[in-house]
Structure 1
Amino acid sequence: MDKVILAVDGGATKTAVTVRKHDGTILFEGEGEGSNYQTVGEGKVREVLTGLLSDAQDILSDRQVAIAVFALAGIDSKHDELVVRNLVEEVCRLRRLQIGKLIIENDAEATMLGATGGKPGALLISGTGSIAYAHDGKGDIFRSGGWGHRAGDEGSGYWMGLEVVRAIFKMEDGRGSVTSLKEEALRELELDSVQDLAGWLFGPDYAVDSIAKLAFILNLCVKKGDVIATNIIEEAADELALLVSSVLRKCGLQNSVCDVYLNGGALIHLEMLITELEERVKAEFPLCKLITSTKAPIEFIVERGWLELTG
């Protein structure tokens, strides 16, 4: 019987699944809605995972899953881990999967372990949210950030998007400088006025990821010489550098040669953000190397699974 890896990357907006052989051969790939139980609820997580594993049933039915890695957002405490573990084990049992080893952990943690290959290092993610993880290569893992968009996620796409909206309202009131962010944001959201923007924020079409997408208009406005857009990116770089600094110090890597992987839409697509962040991190930790990765997180989660098997 063939042995394969099952990897699941579940975020707030989408969930990716892949089944692969050890040689990298892809047997199945699928994508569904979000599976962060904190944002979509336990019932939705059960529905999404059941649907995706059902789609992969033909591939999995006659194969032994050597290792399954369920890397899901929303696992931030022991309670979260228990809730999610019960959900995952229930779904796997109902699908009658034969799993040699089952790993269930926070998606950023799994991505970090896969990216660093078990060596001391760190991962910074700035997408819709923001979080940093680091490990010392000896089994100790540390985290900073990732507290969610309501009270944290500084330097994330959502955080920057919200700063865009605030800048527009200040401009409209005469409390802030004129900025091209207004024109670009209204175009992105297909709205006609700032009043429409205010209504949209409290309407049925509002979504966290829609606010996060506003971060991408910063590129256009920076190129126009927009001071407000530039300031937002610089402030985001300050916040992300603090995440990296705190997690490296927790891990005792501040004076070590190590790689810091950068992932997430904001870090991949905002050129100025990467430049500003690297300048800040290198000034404090000259031995660190920042590596921007364009790989999808699911690729690192696969590597994390094989790493667990091979030791």
Structure 2
Amino acid sequence: MELFIGVDGGGTKTEAVVINNRGKVLSRYSGSSTNPYVVTFDGAMLELMSVLDKVIKPLASPIPEATIKSICLGMSGVNTTEEKDNVISSLRAYQEQRGLSFPISMTNEAIISLMASLGREYGILVISGTGSNTYGITKKGEQYRVGGWGHILGDEGSGYQIGLLSLKTVIKSLEGMLPPTSMTKRITDAYDFEHISELKAYVYKSSIGRSDIAAFARYCVEAAKDGDVVAHNILRDQARELAETTIALIGRHPELRETEVVCTGSIFKHSAVFQDCFREFLLSRFPDLSFPLGRKDLNPADGAALLARKRYAVDN
């Protein structure tokens, strides 16, 4: 049996999948972040090795060397040639330690996500999860990116920005600068606060990070679903911000004006308001774009595994 490994390494979690030559998933495992800018390079590599050990463990052991034919990784925070070479060097050392040897392919989150959704490697990918990013890839493989500057310098239309704006909004509501919002009660109930003023002590804890702030986006999404105008405006404004980022991306190449746009990430998944506003803003500028649903049963790690299989087949 030929096996192919796909890895989707993110700033919050890392997922690995093993498929056979027919595309059947044999093993799946999720670990924590493998973004070097989030957990340091050494921390990222330790977690990556742990994830690989755990996704391989359910398979027959020991695994014959010839069984694993290829691995493909799409990892956030790993973009330059030097960064990719460093990851590959670490994987070579891992293979030597485990008595394995197979081709290693490094790509990015855009290509593996497009492969999972559309079964191909070109189009536009817009991500709105904890962070945000936009990628455009032409049929010839030319790659463009706008965004991805992180929560301090960018991340427009991300869970982090929506969460942060939600927190600021409930404080402004408390002080009478904005109308009352149901987000206040949702947050006090969820965090067992007696009063929303306890929010200050919580958010300024040294342990509170980017993902903790992004977690508050859910209360904005829920409130908007129930008709909260203040929450709706946050989502609409952030959808516009992300649309403007995407418009800048589309300006990089004429082919991107009439291609397919894949929208992925937790905010797109859970907020119809955000998704509808984003599409509205984008189509007002580029009416020839399309938004295919794509495959919902595959995620980026599956796309990476399918790409590992495809590239191995092409190379041989």
When the two structures are superposed, what TM-score results if normalisation uses the length of structure 1? 0.90
Rounded to whole Å, the distance in 2 between the matches of 1:42 and 1:253 is 36
1:1-311 matches, cutoff 5 A: 2-55=1-54, 56-57=56-57, 58-59=59-60, 61-62=63-64, 63-99=66-102, 101-118=103-120, 120-256=122-258, 258-292=259-293, 294=296, 295-311=298-314
- State the identity %: 24
Instruction: Give, in angstroms, the shift of residue 212 of structure 1.
Output: 1.5
Matched letter for residue 123 of structure 2: G
Over 3 Å counting, the alpha-carbon distance change for 1:158 and 1:184 in structure 2 is same
Gapped regions of structure 2 (runs ≥ 5): none
Structure 1 residue 254: Cα displacement: 4.5
Residues 49-80 of structure 1 deviation map (CA, whole Å, 9 limit, x = unaligned)? 22222231554722432221121111143443
Which amino acid in 2 is paired with 1:265? Answer: S
Could you say which structure has the higher strand fraction? Answer: 1
Q: Structure 1 residues 153, 109: closer, same or farther in 2, change over 3 A?
A: farther
What's the CA shift for 1:243?
A: 2.5
CA distance 1:36–1:200, change in 2 (3 Å):
same
Aligned counterparts of 2:148 and 2:123: Cα–Cα separation in 1: 18
The verdict on how the C-alpha distance between 1:27 and 1:225 changes in structure 2, with shifts beyond 3 A counting, is closer
Distance 1:119 1:103, change over 3 A: closer
- Listed one character per residue, the Cα deviations across residues 68-96 of structure 1 (whole Å, up to 9, x for unaligned) are 11211111434433433333333233223
- Offset from partner CA, 1:226-246 (integer Å, 9 cap, x none): 221111011111012122212
Determine the C-alpha separation between the residues in 1 that align with 2:180 and 2:233. Answer: 13
Contact 1:132–1:247 at 8 Å: present in 2 too? Answer: yes
1:50 partner amino acid: M
Q: Deviations over 1:246-274 (max 9, x none)?
A: 22221322543x21111101001101111
Cα pair distance change 1:216/1:291, threshold 3 Å? farther
